[in-house]
Amino acid sequence: MALALVDCESFYASCERIFRPDLKHVPIVVLSNNDGCVIARSAEAKKMGIGMGVPWFKVKDSFLAQGGKVFSSNFTFYGDMSARVMNILEGFVPEVEVYSIDEAFLGLDSLEEHYNLYDFGCHIRSLIKQWTGVPVRIGIAPTKTLTKIALNEAKRINVPT
């Protein structure tokens, strides 16, 4: 049995970068509906110590002074980008279980004997980035729990996306 967990990296922040290539290495935060709290952060914002759920007024001045960019949440846009990613996945494997707006489990049993699953994962990752602009990481293992561990290990050792 083989499963994959596909996880969109810093999904809301990645979506905001799609039409703004000038923000490629710029710290980004996305705020809640009323712009009160940080609900998403780019890797650069995380490195600055910006916490999830932190009230915006507490970090606003220092974040902006360091060149960070802030966006109000756009859930319609994020939902559309999520649907695009999931549609790509559904085009490659018959079993896709959408786990959240930015994660999906894939059943890879039908591919396991015909393809190198690592190469397949790299191919899917590359196509999603090319076709949507959204970077993803993929963990492949025999169980859902182990796919999550594999994904976390890929993040820890900074496997390129």
pLDDT value for 64: 96
Q: Answer with the residue of higher pLDDT: 110 or 67.
A: 67
Confidence of residue 35 (pLDDT cuts 50, 70, 90): confident
Q: Please answer whether residues 137 and 43 qualify as being in contact, where contact means their C-beta atoms are separated by less than 8 angstroms.
A: no
pLDDT tens column, 104-130: 999 998 887 788 899 999 999 999 999
pLDDT at 160 over 70: no
Rounded CA-CA distance 56/30 in Å is 10
Query: Across residues 146-156, what is the average pLDDT?
Result: 89
Query: Across residues 28-34, what is the average pLDDT?
Result: 93
Query: Strand 28-31 vs strand 69-72: parallel, antiparallel, or unpaired?
Result: parallel
pLDDT at 159 over 80: no
Domains identified in the chain and CATH numbers: 3-9+76-156 (3.30.70.270), 13-73 (3.40.1170.60)
pLDDT value for 61: 96
Q: Please answer whether residues 105 and 4 qualify as being in contact, where contact means their C-beta atoms are separated by less than 8 angstroms.
A: yes
Q: Find where tokens 């393809």 sit.
A: 115
pLDDT value for 161: 53
* Percent over 90 (pLDDT), the chain: 83
Query: Strand 69-72 vs strand 3-8: parallel, antiparallel, or unpaired?
Result: unpaired
Sheet holding 28-31, edge to edge: 38-41, 28-31, 69-72
Rounded CA-CA distance 31/54 in Å is 10
Q: What is the mean pLDDT of the chain?
A: 93
pLDDT value for 68: 96
pLDDT value for 138: 94
pLDDT value for 112: 74
What is this structure's pTM?
0.89
- Tell me 32's DSSP state: -
pLDDT at 33 over 90: no
Nearest to 106 by CA among 84, 90, 119, 125: 90
* Beta-ladder partners of 3: 107, 141
